[in-house]
Amino acid sequence: MGASKTDHFTEEQNQIAIVAKALGHPARIAIIEYLLKVNACICNDIVDELPLAQSTISQHLKELKNAGLIKGEIEGNSICYCINETTFNVLKEYFSRIIFTVTNQKCC
Amino acid sequence: MGASKTDHFTEEQNQIAIVAKALGHPARIAIIEYLLKVNACICNDIVDELPLAQSTISQHLKELKNAGLIKGEIEGNSICYCINETTFNVLKEYFSRIIFTVTNQKCC
DNA sequence: ATTTAATATCGCAATATTACGATATAGATT
DNA sequence: AATCTATATCGTAATATTGCGATATTAAAT
């Protein structure tokens, strides 16, 4: 049918999948990296930075925010979006756990 | 138009996005966790473990393999799929780098 | 109050994903 | 050789994503 059966999986599995999915597009990775590079909040210059229309970037920003990867609010004329460290930490911890477990098993 | 413009982003950005995208579905997260749990290669019992048809699981396994998250080959009657530690390490390192950079910046 | 500037939302077309049943493939068993 | 078992692939329908232009929104500047 096309829709994924989120109710059949655990809360954590769904959560990790949501965050990973949000990172599953090069434009959104580029946005994250841009936020790191400028070391500050986004102003409109991100539109000049990426090869995408303003509306498309706005959509990507929304998805990143929904997934909890960035946080921020509109600030007057401009906007303040920045990386939400907490969510990235969750990801890092999750992958660290996987790697730790894998290291201690022998297979293939 | 719907297709993502991978040629406008860096090799690393596309690579991370591909791997993240492959993890962007709870069924595939569940498959990874199952591989960790059984601490061995997959046999057909994964079909009993997940609420999905055999063909659907096969499709998910293929995507995980394409993204380099699992590796393995068919072994006679059965199959040998297991976690590819290398790719998970790339992810972990990538997120570690992001977190390190974020920690040293003040924003919002 | 109008205009300007920056961002968000809407509507739409193109494409991709998800899921399943049916079928194919291929090694093991009889 | 025929059958069984396990996995892969095909075809297809439902849904989701991607991207853009047009428009809406909202605060600042004039």
Residues B21-79 pLDDT 10s:
999 999 999 999 999 988 667 766 788 889 999 999 999 999 999 999 999 876 666 78
Can you give the pTM of this predicted structure? Answer: 0.92
Inform me whether the pLDDT recorded for B88 exceeds 70. Answer: yes
Residue A98 lies in a domain: yes
How far apart (Å, rounded) are the C-alpha atoms in residues A21 and A41? 23
Residue A1 lies in a domain: no
Domain count of the fold of chain A: 1
Domain interval for residue B22: 10-103
Residue A26 lies in a domain: yes
Residue B3 lies in a domain: no
Å between CA of B3 and C1' of D17:
9
Residue A2 lies in a domain: no
Residue A90 lies in a domain: yes
Query: What CATH number is associated with residue A79?
Result: 1.10.10.10
Residue B94 lies in a domain: yes
Distance, C-alpha A4 to centroid of its chain: 20
B4 Cβ within 7 A of any nucleic strand D atom: yes
Inform me whether the pLDDT recorded for A90 exceeds 60. Answer: yes
What burial class does residue B30 get, using C-beta atoms within 10 Å of its C-beta: 0-12 exposed, 13-18 middle, 19+ buried?
Answer: buried
B37 Cβ within 7 A of any nucleic strand D atom: no
Question: How far off is chain B from A57, nearest CA to CA, in Å?
Answer: 13
Q: Is B14 on the interface with A (CB under 8 A)?
A: yes
Over pLDDT 70: what percentage of chain B? 82
B26 Cβ within 7 A of any nucleic strand D atom: no
Per-residue pLDDT of B28-38, as tens digits, reads 999 999 999 88
Q: What pLDDT is stored for residue B106 in this prediction?
A: 63
